[in-house]
């Protein structure tokens, strides 16, 4: 009996599918993306994938089938037929699938989340044209070290192939399984391999022995890449680069480093580059968010990792070097020196001081024509440091008071060393930055600070200094009409004074510090603010002051002066200005 051929309806469906295939191909040539199927052997070779013996029977999503073993040129990416010669077979398969005969499962390879047809290309094509979502299949697993998904295009395949080569060379997916080394553009993984190769070379010099790739890669990740990635996360740099990854930004910062080295004369490390790239708005977070940084020891120990020392080439350099290097030594920070009056003697003094302190330091020299140019130079470089250090009585320090992008340490002839800091706190935005700086210092060094609030209005407050109140007790049990805290004689003894607090400003500062495990002495006085700060600092034996740069409009205080200017004139103590 003669075999019945495909129906005319099935052949018409094939012709419609062919026309759509031709149209898709033309449109992809004009505007993309590529409509071709992926060649299984090519993908497997590029991804260094290995076929396994695991085989299972499953229903798989049709839109996850992206390639074919041998017929990748016969169909489009959506499995529309591209060859007229397939008409009879295609129509016959459709007739069988819609009739009572049925067809056996197809055979596919699974690579990552995508599938490649080994047998059954026409069945996949017909099923998709019929609107099916899944198809019956025998699935053979193919092992790969890199992610592979159905939505990958040719660029993604190149990136995946480079990633596979990178992992084969470094084994970082096994040595550091938590590592996120994804990139978003071709050519990035060869650059990362170059970085590791250079790192490997210098490791060999330092260790006086050959270093294999696995060892070099692990050490590069721990000592070079991860500190930069941590800084990227800390400053949320990816928020400003949507669609990019930490590895993308690491490579961007590495390229940026070369330009800055030529411009600034410093070899700036990755974490400092990330600091400089952060926007000012990201650096000024709310207090509670900043507190989380201090609760994480791994993060807290890297918050002050670099200092900018402003050197004038005169006697004041001795004070800047003494305080700056003492701070750098205690924090394990790098020192970037900026010599504003170049001289061989000043350079030798800087290098000798850094060597004696055991601190890594680099010195750059600049010559400017005016104070304004000098301030501009310092501000540009200060972005890449955690703290700026300058002599308290200098014209530069006065110009930077309210314009430094980073905390400003104003040093005096007082010997370096901090045991009892004082914070003058008014609850403003700049005072909150000073509060965080104080909290950092106290957490790192287990210090008990003094927090001072000065009431400008002449209202007498009970300043009974007998202990008995904790910071958390202040401001509780108040009514809206009476905001003064009532002392509790039965409260647990602590280091804070009892007394009536005019508002919650002081209480909030104390509670914030106590939440970080810092016990502060809270002091509230009334009268002229600058006089009160200097007097309380002397009475409490304080050795450094923390102040916000301004409490009113910045331009107004620059013109008329403010509390900060008065305090600088009246004290010999170092001052941290935020």
- Between the alpha carbon of residue 439 and those of residues 101, 320, 508, 513, 518, the distances in Å are 78, 23, 13, 6, 7
Residue 75: DSSP 8-state: B
pLDDT at 480: 31
Class for the domain spanning 297-411: alpha beta
Which residue in this structure is represented by tokens 């553009």? 185
Per the listing, tokens 């899944």 go with 134
Give the per-residue pLDDT at 551: 59
Q: Yes or no: say if 173 and 145 are a contact pair by the CB < 8 Å rule.
A: yes
SS3 411: strand
Within 13 A of 289's CA, how many CA atoms are on the CB side?
A: 9
Fold that domain 8-150 belongs to in CATH: 3.90.1530
* Six-digit token string for 1: 């009996």
Report whether 514 contacts 494 (CB < 8 A): no
Closest to 578 measured CA to CA, from 406, 346, 426: 406
Contact 125, 75 (CB under 8 A): yes
What's the pLDDT at 234? Answer: 82
How far from chain centre, in Å, is Cα 290? 14
What is the rounded radius of gyration, in angstroms, for the C-alpha atoms of the chain? 34
Q: In the prediction, which pLDDT does 137 show?
A: 97
Q: Is residue 349 classed as helix, strand or coil in its secondary structure?
A: helix
- The Cα 313–Cα 338 span in angstroms is 10
305 CB neighbour count, 10 Å cutoff? 20
| CA pair distance 101, 108, nearest whole angstrom | 22
Kindly list the distances between the CA atom of residue 66 and the CA atoms of 111, 201, 210, 556, in Å, as whole numbers in the listed order.
10, 42, 44, 66
Residue 2: its pLDDT value, please?
Answer: 47
**Do you know the residue count of the chain?**
578
**Rounded distance between C-alpha atoms, residue 335 and residue 85, angstroms:** 74
Q: Would you give per-residue pLDDT tens digits along the chain (578 residues)?
A: 445 667 888 889 899 988 888 888 888 777 766 678 999 999 999 999 999 999 999 999 999 999 999 899 999 988 999 988 889 999 999 988 888 777 899 999 999 999 999 999 999 999 999 999 999 999 999 999 999 999 988 888 999 999 999 999 999 999 999 999 999 999 999 999 999 999 999 999 999 999 999 999 999 999 999 999 988 888 888 888 889 999 999 999 888 888 888 888 888 887 878 777 776 554 444 567 777 777 877 666 778 889 999 999 899 999 999 999 999 999 999 999 999 988 899 999 999 999 999 999 999 999 899 999 999 999 999 989 999 999 998 999 999 988 898 999 999 999 999 999 999 998 888 899 999 999 999 999 999 999 999 986 544 333 333 333 444 444 433 333 333 333 333 333 233 343 444 457 889 899 999 999 999 999 999 889 999 999 999 999 999 999 987 655 454 444 445 788 899 999 999 999 98
Residue 253's contacts (CB-CB under 8 Å, 6 or more residues apart) are 228, 270, 273, 274, 277
The DSSP string of 512-538 is: HHHHTT---EEEEEES-HHHHHHHHHH
576 contacts 434 by C-beta, under 8 angstroms: yes
What does the pLDDT read at residue 32? 65
The single-letter DSSP state of residue 406 is: S
Q: In the Cβ-directed half-sphere of 464, how many Cα atoms lie within 13 Å?
A: 12
Among residues 89, 232, 63, 58, the alpha carbon closest in space to that of 150 is found at: 63
HEC per residue, 486-505: CCCCCCCCCCEECCCCCCCH
550: Cβ contacts below 8 Å, ≥ 6 apart? 402, 430, 557, 562, 564
Measured distance CA(124)–CA(129) in Å, rounded: 9
Q: Do domains 8-150 and 297-411 have the same CATH topology?
A: no
As its CATH architecture, domain 421-577 has 3-Layer(aba) Sandwich (3.40)
For residues 20 and 161, give the distance between their C-alpha atoms in angstroms, rounded to a whole number. 32
Question: Residue 501 has what pLDDT?
Answer: 42
C-alpha to C-alpha distance for 141 and 107, rounded to whole angstroms: 11
- Residue pair 274/384 in contact (Cβ under 8 Å)? The answer is no
pLDDT at position 259 is: 80
- Please tell me the distance from the alpha carbon of residue 440 to that of residue 186, in angstroms, as a whole number: 42
Residue ranges of domains in the chain: 8-150, 155-281, 297-411, 421-577
Task: Round to whole Å and give the CA distance between 317 and 311.
Answer: 5
DSSP three-state, residue 136: strand
Overall pTM surpassing 0.85 (yes/no): no
Render pLDDT for 457-476 as a digit per residue (tens, 0 to 9). Answer: 544 333 333 333 444 444 43
- Cα 439 from Cα 426, distance rounded (Å): 16
User: What's the CA gap between 48 and 42, in Å, rounded?
Assistant: 10
C-alpha span between 59 and 278 (Å, rounded): 48
């Amino acid at each position: 009996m003669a075999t019945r051929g495909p129906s005319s309806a099935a052949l018409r469906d094939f012709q419609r599918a062919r026309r759509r295939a031709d149209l898709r191909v033309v449109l992809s040539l004009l505007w993309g993306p590529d409509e071709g199927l992926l060649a299984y052997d090519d993908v497997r070779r590029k991804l260094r994938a290995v076929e396994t013996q695991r085989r299972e029977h499953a229903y798989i999503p049709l839109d996850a089938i992206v390639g074919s073993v041998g017929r990748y040129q016969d169909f489009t990416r959506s499995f529309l037929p591209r060859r007229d010669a397939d008409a009879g077979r295609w129509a016959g398969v459709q007739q069988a699938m819609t009739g009572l005969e049925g067809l056996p499962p197809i055979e596919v390879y699974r690579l990552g989340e995508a599938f490649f047809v080994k047998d059954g290309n026409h069945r996949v094509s017909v099923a998709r044209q019929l609107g099916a979502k899944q198809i019956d299949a025998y699935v053979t697993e193919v092992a790969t070290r890199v992610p592979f998904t159905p939505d990958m295009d040719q660029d993604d395949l190149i990136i995946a192939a480079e990633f596979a080569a990178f992992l084969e060379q470094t084994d970082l997916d096994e040595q550091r399984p938590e590592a996120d080394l994804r990139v978003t553009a071709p050519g990035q993984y060869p650059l990362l391999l170059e970085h590791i190769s250079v790192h490997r070379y210098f490791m060999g010099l330092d260790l006086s022995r050959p270093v294999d790739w696995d060892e070099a890669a692990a050490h590069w990740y721990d000592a070079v890449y991860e500190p930069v990635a941590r800084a990227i996360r800390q400053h949320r740099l990816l928020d400003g680069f949507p669609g990019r990854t930490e590895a993308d930004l690491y490579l961007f910062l590495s390229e940026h480093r070369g330009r800055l080295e030529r411009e600034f004369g410093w070899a700036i490390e990755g974490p400092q580059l990330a600091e400089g790239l952060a926007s000012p708005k990201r650096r000024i977070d709310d207090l509670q968010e900043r507190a989380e940084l201090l609760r994480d020891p791994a993060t807290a120990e890297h918050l002050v990792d670099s200092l900018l020392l402003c050197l004038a080439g005169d006697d004041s350099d001795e004070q800047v070097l003494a305080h700056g290097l003492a701070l750098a030594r205690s924090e394990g920070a790098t020192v970037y020196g900026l010599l504003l009056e170049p001289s061989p003697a000043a350079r030798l003094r800087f290098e000798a001081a850094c060597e004696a302190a055991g601190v890594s330091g680099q010195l750059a020299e600049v010559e400017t024509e005016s104070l304004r140019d000098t301030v501009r130079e310092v501000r540009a470089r200060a972005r890449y440091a955690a703290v700026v250090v300058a002599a308290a009585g200098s014209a530069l320090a006065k110009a930077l008071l309210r314009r430094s992008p980073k905390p400003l340490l104003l040093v005096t002839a007082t010997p370096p060393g901090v045991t009892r800091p004082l914070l003058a706190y008014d609850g403003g935005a700049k005072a909150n930055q000073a509060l965080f700086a104080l909290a950092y210092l106290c957490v790192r060094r287990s210090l008990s600070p003094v927090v001072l609030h000065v009431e400008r209005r002449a209202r007498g407050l009970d300043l009974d200094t007998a202990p008995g109140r904790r910071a958390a007790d202040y401001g509780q049990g108040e009514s809206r009409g009476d905001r003064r805290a009532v002392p509790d004689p039965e409260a647990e003894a602590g280091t804070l004074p009892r007394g009536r607090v005019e508002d919650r400003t002081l209480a909030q500062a104390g509670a914030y510090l106590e939440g970080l495990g810092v016990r502060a002495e809270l002091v509230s006085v009334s009268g002229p603010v600058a006089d009160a700060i200097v007097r309380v600092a002397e009475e409490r034996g304080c050795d450094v002051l923390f102040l916000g740069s301004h409490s009113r409009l910045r331009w107004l205080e620059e013109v008329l002066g403010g509390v900060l200017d008065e305090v600088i004139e009246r004290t010999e103590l170092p001052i941290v200005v935020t």
